[in-house]
Amino acid sequence: MPPQYVFPITIGFIVLATVVGAFIRRRNRDKCLKDFDDFTVTAELLDGKLVSGRLRVENTGLEFIYPELIEKDQTTRSSYIMYKAEYSKIAAMLRFHDELTDDNKIKRENELKRTYHPSFFHRTKRKTINIVKTVRDSLMEVVNMAMSHAKKVTPAGAVMAGQDKYVNQIKQGVAGSGDTSYEPMIEKYIGHKVILEMSGPDKIFYFCGVLKDYTKEFVELMDVDYVSQPEGTTRKADMIVLRKAGTVRHFAE
């Protein structure tokens, strides 16, 4: 390929990588966390700290917007920001039913109706999405093989090799846009009651609820009887926990 084409091609790859990356990063929010977006949510951290507020979910982290300003250390605080790298500190994310606004109660109730014992349409839709994601992963492997071959045998191979950094950015963005880590053991129980097992500091906890969804990092249950700490009262809640901390252990129907 003539040298005068190398520079504009490089610029093109940079622009493409930037645009695709920005678009995917904006849309690529964890599905479970996104379900709690704009609801009043309480995060119970492993150190016992509680953070509560209206949740704003971004792909890089979470923001809990306080219902009123908090004065502390001679400063005024209106929200608490938790970055993605800090998710390992979360014991549970809780959406207590008695804290929801009337509009959000209706929204949540409709969500539960769609989730519990899903219709044929919703089951088919989910199966189709899983198939598409599986096909996408296979296509990415084919694209990788084709590009590796093209670099070796085509005249443009040297130019393509020089754009590896930007090509990889695009591929990683596309590959990472699906946040579901398919788990056949629990996939069939989506929309049914299950029992989630969680290991605490000194005991094992069990929570029964409707399995709403799961992703690579989280699992989400609806209609859970949750014992609030430290008062020890039982409250109805929807909850999200890290998959490495909570295991779907039993089918409960």
pLDDT score at 172: 56
CATH code, 1-179: 2.30.30.100
Which tens digits make up the pLDDT trace of 13-27? Answer: 556 656 655 555 556
pLDDT score at 211: 97
3-state secondary structure 93-152: EEEEHHHCCHHHHHHHHHHHHHHCCCCHHHHHHHHHHHHHHHHHHHHHHHHHHHHHHHHH
Name the pTM for this structure.
0.73
Q: What does the domain layout of the chain look like in residue ranges? A: 1-179
pLDDT score at 202: 79
pLDDT score at 233: 85
Low-confidence ranges of the chain (pLDDT < 70): 1-27, 133-181, 229-231
pLDDT score at 26: 58
**CA atoms of 110 and 127, how far apart (whole Å):** 21
